[in-house]
Amino acid sequence: MATQRIHLEDIVPLSEFRNNIPAYIKQVQETGRSVLITQHGRGAVFLVDAESYEAEQKELERLELVESIKRGLEDVAAGRVMSHAQAKKLLLAPFKKESKGLKKANENHLD
């Protein structure tokens, strides 16, 4: 995911963008460069072509996965681990309490 530099011609006020939307869409599609739309003199949003946006989303997902793996490896190195049986018990505990409550409610209702 390469960082793009913003060219001066790719920075436009919202009012100008609003008056020329089709032209800016065409510019983004043809050049592959994003357009920064300003509002009250400050950057508000980027207009990005769909292909670039999707590629950036995939890269973000990949980076999040790498971070998750890194945290998992750090947990293992620090001894923050549990067995499958312990994890299963921990995860199923709320459901067991819930099912006991439902069973009792059903028994009371049938009486």
* Exposure string over 61-89, b if 16+ CB within 10 A, otherwise e: eeeeeeeeeeeeeeeeeeeeeeeeeeeee
- The one-digit pLDDT tens for each residue of the chain (111 residues) are 556 678 888 999 999 999 999 999 999 999 999 999 999 999 999 999 999 999 999 999 999 999 999 999 999 999 999 999 999 999 999 888 766 665 665 666 555
Q: Which two tokens stand for residue 46?
A: 């980027």
The ranges assigned to domains in the chain are 8-110
Under CATH, what is the fold of the domain 8-110? YefM-like fold (3.40.1620)
